[in-house]
Structure 1
Amino acid sequence: MPHPSPRLGYALIVLVAVLFGLNGGISRVAMGAGLSPEAFTTLRITGATLVFVAYAACFRRSALVRPRGSALLLVIALGVVGVLGLQLTYNVAIDRLPLGIALLIEYLAPVLVVLWVRFVRREDVRPRMWAAVALALVGLAVVSRVWNGLAFDGLGVVMALLAAVCFATYFLLGEHQVQLDEHGVGTDDPLRVILWAFVAATVGMNLVQPIWATPALPATTGGLGRLDGISVNPWLVIAVVVVFGTVLPFFLGMLALRHLPATIVTVVAMLEPVIAVVLGWAWFRESLTPVQVVGAVAVLAGIVLAQTSRRVELTVPAPQ
């Protein structure tokens, strides 16, 4: 393997955060064409799976070998919860909440992870875990303006919280996956893990919302928000989401993990909710009050503290 290049690793993970951050807005446009979050999730996951399989068939056929035994069960769980569950709840959340708020809530996942490993796995964690939990909860309460009642769509908030749970599950299952080298799934070939997780997610999502039941889409759809006057082909939008919002950031995330420790990668990835807040303002005219901005900063600080409080590093790139 080439000598690690931290500079390249930083560039890659920043690009991943930008792609995932932009993907939220582009996904809204796709769903605005008449797709339900369920139908859109089926198209996105199925399309990404086809690309992953095609890539593996051309360049790394070993990734097409199906995992066996407990490794297969873990891949299925990773796909159903960490891919299908995460993307479905995320798509519902961004359809009902401001982009930045949806991402802030979803990124509570590292806080859930550190609580799980502390109280369930009994792993040793750094004392700053408690400051992380406090900052995240207080910041989220400020952003949501709980003193005025819930300021946002209730179902959207629930879906964002479920996305955080799925995201945390993805990290925990993925972390367990990479410890199973003797079963054929390991850090030397994360493509195999991602490919078969997406296969499992594709099967599960097509049981929920079959791809052949996708409604007919109009020839064009509006760009929404400040771009509402621009007409685009919805299938082109979906293709952009599949390639640039799913496959490419996954691939770049894997490359970044070859050059930087996972703890650094996950902290730099915190640019994603920041980008989502800026995108929500620039594209969809969404904004936060000054007090909510302070709350958002507190949430981000809490998440960063949580991600760096574990003494065991995570090694799985994050999906959106």
Structure 2
Amino acid sequence: MSSSSPAVSARDRMLALMQVTGGMISVQLGTSLAKLLFPVFGASNMLGLRTFFAAVALVLVFGTWRWHGLSVRVLRVLLPYAIALTGMNAMFYLALNRLPLGIAVAIEFIGPLTLAFLSSRRVADVLWIALTVVGLGLLLKPQSAVTLDMVGVGYALIGAGFWTGYIICCRKLAHKVPPGHGCAVGMAIGAVILLFPCTVPALVIGFHNPAMLALSVVVALSSSALPYALEMRAMHRLTTREFGLLCSLEPVCATLSGTLLLHEIPSLRQLGGILCIVTASAGIVLGPSRASHEPVPSELPELLD
């Protein structure tokens, strides 16, 4: 055991696993609630509300208004990250407006999965990417009973690209910007970008529906502030492999949330496609890696945001 990786008790590791799992569940519950609010606000306006209230919550949670490192130069560095974050969330909400939750998450998950494959030099990963292609084929193959909205699929695929760019931006920002402040400022920049086209119209609607507006605050807290806070507490107690394995279960968590809360029951073929993608992700994560026993890098928890 290296001096840079202090011993972690079984109790602390279990607590960390519960925190990351709780963060994933919180994200999917918030997403399900957001979709239930789409008929009231619309997908794009709901995105504006979620981003605005999440930015406020994250700035308060991390005390970013007291961060002395904030400057014009830092804002320029964070701008690509903020654009990737906003684009990823925007495409996801637009896809969610047309697709079941589990399928939208599974398709977008192909972005980081492909990046993981391209970053690997193991021949065995070719099998996992092939399984991913099979899973995507199962999800998109037309059938008489259920057909997917291909515009929604397009949004999800664009979102997968934004998610890939988001991960790359996170890696570039590692050790340059404190992750908590970086996420808060990135979300705040996104809130500014969405303010007039999305947030202001949503607030006008919300003033006539205060209960629905209050629920949008719950969406923001459960989709961003709470899971990020939980994952920040857990990341130093888990290895990269443990955290990555939990992340690979996110499409399953989304499918369960969509089934239980939104009554979006996938067909057996679609369920098979989701499981193929999850299996491929787990296979890549569990493959041999020199970094498998290192603590989770500080930027990794942002991948679930």
Map 1:10-159 onto structure 2 (within 5 A).
Answer: 10-33=17-40, 35-57=41-63, 63=67, 65-66=69-70, 69=73, 71-81=74-84, 83-117=85-119, 125-146=121-142, 151-159=147-155
CA contact (8 A) 1:20 1:249 kept: yes
* Residues 158, 149 of structure 1: alpha-carbon distance in 2 compared, 3 angstrom cutoff: farther
Is 1:265 the equivalent of 2:243? Answer: yes
Distance 2:58 2:273 in 1: 39
State the SS of the aligned residue for 1:19: helix
Per-residue CA distance 1:103-141 (angstroms, 9 max, x = gap): 111111222212443xxxxxx533332122111111110
DSSP 3-state at the match of 2:300: coil
Match of 2:158 in 1: 162
- For 1:115 and 1:272, how far apart are their aligned partners in 2? 18
CA distance in 2, matches of 1:199, 1:217: 20
Alignment map for 1:131-280 (pairs within 5 Å): 131-146=127-142, 151-180=147-176, 185=177, 189-206=178-195, 208-211=197-200, 214-217=203-206, 233-280=211-258
**Aligned letter for 2:19?**
L
Bigger share in helix: 2
Q: Name the SS of the counterpart of 1:96 in structure 2.
A: coil
Residues 267 and 64 (structure 1), Cα distance of their counterparts in 2 relative to 1, 3 Å cut: farther
Separation in 1 of the partners of 2:211 and 2:285? 39
Question: 1:179-207: per-residue Cα shift (whole Å, max 9, x none)?
Answer: 43xxxx1xxx3211111111221122225
What is the rounded CA distance, in whole Å, between the counterparts of 1:172 and 1:26 in structure 2? 29
> Cα deviations across residues 134-157 of structure 1 (Å, max 9, x unaligned)?
111111101222577993011110
Q: Which amino acid aligns with 2:169?
A: L
One-letter amino acid of the counterpart of residue 79, structure 1: A
Task: Give the paired residue count.
Answer: 291
Q: Percent identity?
A: 19
Residues 64, 192 of structure 1: 8 Å contact kept: no
In structure 2, the gaps of 5 or more residues are none
**Letter matched to residue 53 of structure 2:** G
Report how far residue 282 of structure 1 moved: 2.2
Query: Do the aligned residues in 2 keep the contact of 1:110 with 1:307 (CA within 8 Å)?
Result: no
CA distance in 1, matches of 2:62, 2:207: 33
Separation of aligned partners in 1, 2:122 and 2:286: 8
Q: In the TM superposition, what is the alpha-carbon distance from 1:32 to its structure 2 partner?
A: 2.1
The 1:2/1:252 distance shift into structure 2, 3 A limit, reads farther
Structure 2 counterpart of 1:303: 281
Note if contact 1:19-1:245 (Cα within 8 Å) is conserved in structure 2: yes
Question: CA separation in 2, counterparts of 1:64 and 1:244?
Answer: 28
Q: 2-side partners of 1:160 and 1:150: how far apart?
A: 18
Q: Given that residues 87 and 159 in structure 2 are in contact (C-alpha distance below 8 angstroms), is that contact kept between their aligned partners in structure 1?
A: yes
Cα RMSD, aligned residues only: 2.8
Amino acid at match of 1:15: G
Task: Tell me if structure 2 keeps the 8 A contact 1:218–1:234.
Answer: no
Deviations 1:251-307 (A, max 9, x none): 111112121123321321233321221222223332223233222211111122334
Q: For residues 219 and 28 of structure 1, what CA distance do their matches in structure 2 show?
A: 19
User: What SS does the corresponding residue of 1:258 show, helix, strand or coil?
Assistant: helix
TM-score by length of 2: 0.84
Amino acid at match of 1:205: L
Using the size of structure 1 for normalisation, the TM-score is 0.81
